[in-house]
Structure 1
């Protein structure tokens, strides 16, 4: 994180009364400890060595900043607007065909260490323990919604259904998100044709051009939906804890993984 971004984030947390210094630890050090752990997937022992603090102090700093980030969520998270996104309106390949789309959504798996008593559902189809995290973003790479905590074995469609029915995910009336074929077709979700070439890497082979209207639609859909894959890549590169199973209690893992997408990337 750039120094200016760090200072701006610290000022925001302190000005809103979400984070404050304690007798022996400044608010700056608490935030630095948190970012060190999530940015480098550092263990508590590594953080203790880096900041020359006890395990208890590191844990307290992590918990305080985590709580502050969660409470910051309503400030930094914004639903998409009702106007046509610039990325659509300014591109003749996309407008007017995708004028009702406000962003893209997808699921991503991140390693998890669930409680032993309920670990089995977290084993995904690739064989490792994970959470299936749903996220939606605008075409300029700003997250509009994140839902963490679902087991790795849960389908993307099931997670989306829970988000829409129970977890406050609202799609503006008359608007749509772009999603992959795994979600199935619904009124507020635009998906590609099944059985037709889709992924951008498929189009890069042989430099081929679309041979039918369905192939052209799938190509444009994939090009525009690529924003969600890009932001997942940025997020996992910036916060290494998202690619390494964290050693912290599972409830903290769920909150922690979700708030990275909700807050930190938007701060630069």
Structure 2
């Protein structure tokens, strides 16, 4: 049984134009995966790039994510549900709360012979690059660009935490940034594990520590600039010192990055 799919208003025309406005059609597409399929959780999950020409002759890039019986169990879903269903709900929640993130173009799920299947189509963020890729050319960037990227990333995480949510997997590869003439833009991806900050400050510190530990390139001064921007401060005060101490204390207990 297939439920009525979600189709974004700005994607309906191009999907319909190519006969891809149904789960059956997207499921049947033969595409090369961008990386090896994930075969955990008793099923499989794959990601493919899809480019569709619109009525103006412009290519619209997407990422097509499909999974079969690749489920997670929660208190609300004790029998499990596709992880992409969780991510789709999170994408919608982020949009409602004004937290910049990837955009969903299509989502549908169904059960086939007892197996849970899901399709999630998201718009490609081709104008952006993940923070870990920015780190690879950190030393080639102008000081003003580095500052802008730091401020943009800090504002993004602050917007998330101000909405009383945590990413819960805040690696640099999940923070997408772009530079343009008016400054920088930022968006989150990979929202499968995001949740409410049930434990308040402890959860927020957990997010920040993950990003700190996984970001090996920035200097101490640049990390301090991130913290001050995140807190909306211009200089170090008691709150900034306390936050830095909490993050470093948690990081010390984690040991080196695996």
TM-score (norm 1): 0.30
Higher helix share goes to which structure?
1
Higher strand share goes to which structure?
2
